[in-house]
Amino acid sequence: MKKHSFMIIVAIALLYSPVGAFAQEKADSSAKGVIGSMPEGAHINAFRVDNIIDSGVINIEGKRIGTIDDLVIDTDTGSVMYAVLELGGFMGFGDKLFAVPWHSLTSVPAEGIFILDQSKAKLEKAPGFDKDNWPDLGDLSWGGGIYEFYRHHVPSPKTSAAPAAPQKQKMLQSYRQYPGYPEGGYPSTWTDPFGEIFNAKTVESVTGIILKIEYYESIRLLIYTDAKKPVLVALGPPGYFEGQTKILIPGNTVTVTGSKVIVDDTPFMIATKIKEGNEELQMRDKEGHPVWMGWKTIK
């Protein structure tokens, strides 16, 4: 597969901005008949492949690591599977290329760059291949290994024997009942995968634009700060945020307070609260106890 070997338009639901290297294509007026009742002026972020190839890529620490050399398309679904990165002299990778799952990249149109949500320490272990010896891109076994490498492996909840005597518990005032649990029944505090690594001594606040929201076992944000640095933010279980999503909108400028930690060789912020204008969501108290748990052990 060579650069510029195909001319397609890739639809990217990312940050709304028509400036920078990813200048948005003007919509054809004939599309109105296809779209039907869509309001005038509504659009998605659609970019020609030529505007993506050779775009700069930075890692989660804000360091430029290389460029996008090519894209790999699933012709059955029309979706972008991988971006193939040329890391150049970054950490001495030389002539190797690296296939990265498309969802691991996020565009910053105003900057004309993409963010790869991985750290230098993680990328030092990344699987690559020679420019003149491409792998079988349709091999599901090979592709599964790529996706496994680039996903964020959250810590496993603590497992331990039940205490000899029942623990005395107290409902924390103003804490909210977690959806789905009967009155008086709360999950163990250890079901929070980040609870054991929260460090009150590393709590700080950052302000930036929400670039991406990902829904897994825990909602994760990627924000781009005023200092032009990307930050991964772990919030909490999706169920807790039902009906509380005014703040969680891509493009919103938010201030996040939380504990800076390292998870899977990658810097993360475990959020205690997130604020946008006069709206604020509380996830954890100052000690890191999740609000959605509703209780903590009395010492």
CATH topology of domain 9-150: SH3 type barrels. (2.30.30)
CA dihedral over 189, 191, 193, 196, signed as positive or negative: positive
- pLDDT tens-digit series, residues 123-180: 989 999 999 999 999 999 999 999 999 998 877 655 433 333 334 444 444 444 444 4
With a cut of 50, say whether residue 116 has pLDDT above it: yes
Most confident of 84-88, 203-207, 290-294: 203-207
Q: What is the pTM of this model?
A: 0.76
Alpha-carbon span 248 to 233, nearest angstrom = 12
Where are the chain's structural domains? 9-150, 169-297
The CATH number of 169-297 is: 2.40.50.140
Mean pLDDT of the chain: 77
Higher pLDDT among residues 179 and 236, named by residue = 236
- pLDDT tens-digit series, residues 245-257: 688 999 999 999 9
